[in-house]
Chains A and B, each alone.
Chain A
Amino acid sequence: MTRSGLVLGVVLLLTAGVRPAVAQVSVYSVLGIGFPNRPTSLAARAMGDGTAAVDPRSTVNPGAIALQRRLTVSGYFVTTGRAYEADGVSTGDLRDTRFPLAIVEGQLGSSPLSFGLSYSLYADRTYELTTSDSVLIRGEVVGVDDRLSSDGGVADLRSALGWYVSRALQVGAAVHVLSGSTRERGIRTFDDPQYVPVTQSGDVSYTGWGVSAGAVYTPFQRLRLGMSVRRDSKLEAAGTLLPAIEIQLPTTVSGGFSALLLPTLRLSTSASWRSWAAANDDIPVGAGITAFDTWDVGTGLEFGGPDIGTSAIPLRVGVRYAQLPFSRTDEQAREIDLSAGSGFVFAGGRAMLEFALERVLRDGAGAKERAWQLSFGVVLRP
């Protein structure tokens, strides 16, 4: 197999049969603007997002872009199998495959500047729910079956510029365009055939923008620090099925470090805080949803691998704790991810296949969800 053929094959595999523009779904996707995505690379996922603040292939810190001195294309998909219990309802064997992040980045000529263009999912509103009930119509009780679904989400298109100020300091800034749509659909069928089934559907479009800035500081070779701030606008939602509405998106503050504890062992930790509670003023009272500020903390270890430079195969493990922003109760939901992953280099060092396996435990706000997530991705350096 030739090198170019191999690369082409990998790209085709990653894009075939995978739905774009949406990430994992969850029982919590039905709340608020949807389930917030993790804008992190596959390697970061395998380490509990511990490298998010200093990872050039994640879209958290634009300052990290400056570390990418070579043209790089990367992306991955996630296959999820999950089950949940909520309000007395339990279900399992739910499966989906999503494509949460893709990024192109590299140095601008021989300048100290680097660019990064990326797509990631900001929030996912994909779900399909079925309910059965009875209603009183014309003095008679009539059984009804409803199927309510939403398909789509909000994408985050980021254009970032990084400046390699020195070996110790890199800074960057980015502009984010938030765009997307969901196809909302409601279907009601009646037990009594005299009532005609109803199908209502319509597209809801979402628009918004954001800016972010960050820096990466490497005080000495074994330690790297990262910090970034992101400010998003209000998210405008409009469609045929609802009046125009604007929801304030959060300000995000992220920070973290990556430390080479041993020549073959690296520890990374990152944390993010998001001011989701700012949306409370904009969420319609009738929706009955409360938004909470969230913390997202993750840490992970990497043994070897090409980034450290000691082997072709890295071993990564991590753990992550995150709060979820939306709830219909006074309780804020949270999730714990336990992750592990690896990868290997091929095509003369120009490509790398990666994978990660995660066990996700989500609890709170009246639901308990358990998921296995298997991710595969590729990093190309032509």
Chain B
Amino acid sequence: MIERRSGPAVIAWLATLALLAAACQETVTAPGACPNFCPPAQLEVFDTVVTGVVEREEWGRGFILPQRVGTMQIVADPAGRSSVGVVQFFPFSDSIASGTGFIPVQSVDSFKLELEQFRLSATGDSLVLVVHRLPIGLDSSTSYNDVVPFIDDSTEVATIALIDTVGNPSVVIPVAAFPAYVTDSFTLAVGLTLRADSGGFADFATQESSVAVGPFMRRYVTADSAGTSIVLEDSRSGAFDTFVAPPLPDPAAGILVVGGIPSARTIVRVAIPPKILDSSDVVRATLLMVLDGPVLGGPGDSVTVRTFAVRADVGLKSPLFGVGQDSVTRGVADLPVGSADTMRIDITRIVIPWQNDSSVARSILLGLAPEASSLGEVRLRSSQSTAGAPAIHITYVPRFLEQP
């Protein structure tokens, strides 16, 4: 070769090259000119309802007890099932705190029941909360049948008109309303019912609530303070609070139950054809289950059925994936009480992990959200039912075949 160039010229060339190399930026994304200048194979969406893929369902009751939840639902249903809220408060005493000590109570002037209300049915009727005097001794074994003999006009001690959807209703109750107050060791218990011509419901906080304050009873007294009578007050929270309702008859064989009190759950096993599950990408999957009768619950109420993926299928007590995580429990169905439409729940986020991973349990657990917090209950037909067996509506994209 012939060399006639000097060093500075070479450096200039190298600098130019360096600039060019630095300027190299890829911009290859372009709008497709289909079909002539697009790949032969395209992404195609298929949609089908597969039946016979939901199998080996089972249900059970007793997972969450109503006294363990933060809500007490009081229902009035003239044509159906009503519930009673029951609260027994921690006992007062014959003395009351004053300053740094206690002084004797001379007389009790009145009581005041205070509640925190979450929800109220929008039935259009005026709803009245009726407070009844109950004998003490309420505990987790207390049933509706134990309470209902004491729910009548003779035990009614106060009423509260419920107007606002949320609020803090309260009512003053005369001392005479609790004649056994002293003999019951200063312990009070009340039953709460709802009065509504065409039915309704009201939800109140209980002591188990993490976001609200449960019922408490305030006491107004006259006390002896060094020979001087003074007016004081103190209060007691509920020692036990829950709601009770008449039990429902067991469903017929082959019928599945979700919700109610104590809460019931259903687990279903799913066998989606491998052609779809292993050779496609599922973009949407919906669980279809036919209701066996209308949704049960308080008039005007609705229930939310939620689906959960299970870590391992050991039956109804299977450990769940990411409870409370929206990505996993995305599938919910809101069903109005009284409706009888087919229940449709999105299970896409549950089905996708099943693809190409046979180690993931292909089971779905259904429960109410929240559980044991209302009379809401859903009864569903199963694969054993003569008609209306569960199915899955699945939308998928087969793996595309690229062809030269």
Residues of A within 8 A of B (CB): 1, 6, 9-10, 13-14, 16-19, 25, 27-28, 30-33, 79, 84, 86-89, 91, 93-97, 126-131, 135, 137-138, 144, 146-148, 150, 184, 186, 188, 190, 194-200, 204, 237, 239-243, 245, 247, 283-284, 286-289, 306, 309, 311-312, 328-329, 344-350, 352-353, 365-367, 374, 376, 381
Q: Which one, B1, B27, B395, contacts A95 given CB within 8 A? A: B27
B25, A95: Cβ atoms under 8 Å?
yes
- With A91-B30, A312-B3 already in contact, the answer to whether A6 and B402 are too (CB < 8 A) is no
- With A88-B33, A138-B393 already in contact, the answer to whether A17 and B404 are too (CB < 8 A) is no
A130, B31: Cβ atoms under 8 Å?
yes
Expressed in whole angstroms, the Cα–Cα distance for A365 and B29 within the complex equals 21
- For B284, the chain A residues whose CB sits under 8 A away are 137, 194-196
CB-nearest residue of chain B to A1: B7
- With A94-B30, A129-B30, A241-B402 already in contact, the answer to whether A329 and B36 are too (CB < 8 A) is yes
A289, B45: Cβ atoms under 8 Å?
no
Q: Which of B261-284 contact A (CB under 8 A)?
A: 281-284
CB-based closest 3 A-B pairs: A86-B33, A129-B32, A349-B1
Is B397 among interface residues, defined by CB-CB distance under 8 A? yes
B39, A150: Cβ atoms under 8 Å?
yes
- For B387, the chain A residues whose CB sits under 8 A away are none
How far, in Å, is B296 (CB) from chain A's closest CB? 28
A89, B33: Cβ atoms under 8 Å?
yes
Best-surrounded residue of A19, A27, A247, A309 (most CB of chain B within 10 A): A27
Expressed in whole angstroms, the Cα–Cα distance for A347 and B352 within the complex equals 62
Is B21 among interface residues, defined by CB-CB distance under 8 A? yes
Expressed in whole angstroms, the Cα–Cα distance for A272 and B10 within the complex equals 37
- For A28, the chain B residues whose CB sits under 8 A away are 37
CB-nearest residue of chain A to B396: A198
How far, in Å, is A52 (CB) from chain B's closest CB? 22
- With A13-B18, A79-B24 already in contact, the answer to whether A130 and B7 are too (CB < 8 A) is no
Additional A-B contacts beyond A188-B43, A196-B348 (15; CB < 8 A): A17-B24, A86-B36, A87-B35, A97-B26, A130-B29, A130-B32, A198-B43, A241-B400, A283-B404, A289-B40, A306-B1, A345-B1, A345-B5, A374-B20, A376-B17
A13, B21: Cβ atoms under 8 Å?
yes
Expressed in whole angstroms, the Cα–Cα distance for A352 and B24 within the complex equals 22
How far, in Å, is B352 (CB) from chain A's closest CB? 7
- For B352, the chain A residues whose CB sits under 8 A away are 196
Expressed in whole angstroms, the Cα–Cα distance for A240 and B30 within the complex equals 26
CB-nearest residue of chain A to B32: A129
Q: Which one, A32, A79, A129, contacts B20 given CB within 8 A? A: A79
- For A88, the chain B residues whose CB sits under 8 A away are 33
B4, A345: Cβ atoms under 8 Å?
yes
Q: Considering only CB atoms and an 8 Å cut-off, how many residues of chain B contact the other chain?
A: 56
- For A87, the chain B residues whose CB sits under 8 A away are 33-37
Expressed in whole angstroms, the Cα–Cα distance for A349 and B283 within the complex equals 63
Is B79 among interface residues, defined by CB-CB distance under 8 A? no
Expressed in whole angstroms, the Cα–Cα distance for A352 and B7 within the complex equals 13
Is B211 among interface residues, defined by CB-CB distance under 8 A? no
B400, A186: Cβ atoms under 8 Å?
yes
- With A91-B31, A137-B47 already in contact, the answer to whether A367 and B5 are too (CB < 8 A) is no
Expressed in whole angstroms, the Cα–Cα distance for A30 and B41 within the complex equals 11
Q: Which of B19-62 contact A (CB under 8 A)?
A: 20-43, 45, 47
Task: Enumerate 16 A-B pairs (CB-CB under 8 Å) in ascending A order.
Answer: A84-B33, A89-B33, A94-B27, A95-B27, A97-B26, A129-B31, A147-B29, A186-B400, A194-B284, A196-B283, A197-B283, A241-B401, A245-B403, A311-B4, A348-B3, A349-B1
- For B401, the chain A residues whose CB sits under 8 A away are 241-243
Is B314 among interface residues, defined by CB-CB distance under 8 A? no
B28, A245: Cβ atoms under 8 Å?
no
- With A18-B24, A346-B10, A367-B37 already in contact, the answer to whether A148 and B32 are too (CB < 8 A) is yes
- For A309, the chain B residues whose CB sits under 8 A away are 2
How far, in Å, is A261 (CB) from chain B's closest CB? 21
B26, A31: Cβ atoms under 8 Å?
no
CB-nearest residue of chain B to A26: B37
CB-nearest residue of chain A to B35: A328
A350, B400: Cβ atoms under 8 Å?
no
Q: Which one, A17, A198, A239, contacts B21 given CB within 8 A? A: A17
How far, in Å, is A118 (CB) from chain B's closest CB? 21
Expressed in whole angstroms, the Cα–Cα distance for A284 and B403 within the complex equals 7
Expressed in whole angstroms, the Cα–Cα distance for A16 and B328 within the complex equals 45
Is B11 among interface residues, defined by CB-CB distance under 8 A? yes
- For A14, the chain B residues whose CB sits under 8 A away are 17
- For A350, the chain B residues whose CB sits under 8 A away are 1
CB-nearest residue of chain A to B285: A196
How far, in Å, is B334 (CB) from chain A's closest CB? 15
- With A137-B47, A200-B43, A312-B4 already in contact, the answer to whether A27 and B33 are too (CB < 8 A) is yes
Is B14 among interface residues, defined by CB-CB distance under 8 A? yes
A194, B29: Cβ atoms under 8 Å?
no
CB-nearest residue of chain B to A151: B28
Best-surrounded residue of B2, B4, B34 (most CB of chain A within 10 A): B2
A86, B37: Cβ atoms under 8 Å?
yes
Expressed in whole angstroms, the Cα–Cα distance for A94 and B37 within the complex equals 16
B283, A190: Cβ atoms under 8 Å?
yes
Expressed in whole angstroms, the Cα–Cα distance for A340 and B95 within the complex equals 108
B36, A366: Cβ atoms under 8 Å?
yes
A349, B43: Cβ atoms under 8 Å?
no
- For B397, the chain A residues whose CB sits under 8 A away are 188, 198, 200
- For A289, the chain B residues whose CB sits under 8 A away are 40, 404
Is B399 among interface residues, defined by CB-CB distance under 8 A? yes
How far, in Å, is B209 (CB) from chain A's closest CB? 33
Is B321 among interface residues, defined by CB-CB distance under 8 A? no
B28, A137: Cβ atoms under 8 Å?
no
- For A346, the chain B residues whose CB sits under 8 A away are 3, 5, 9-10, 13
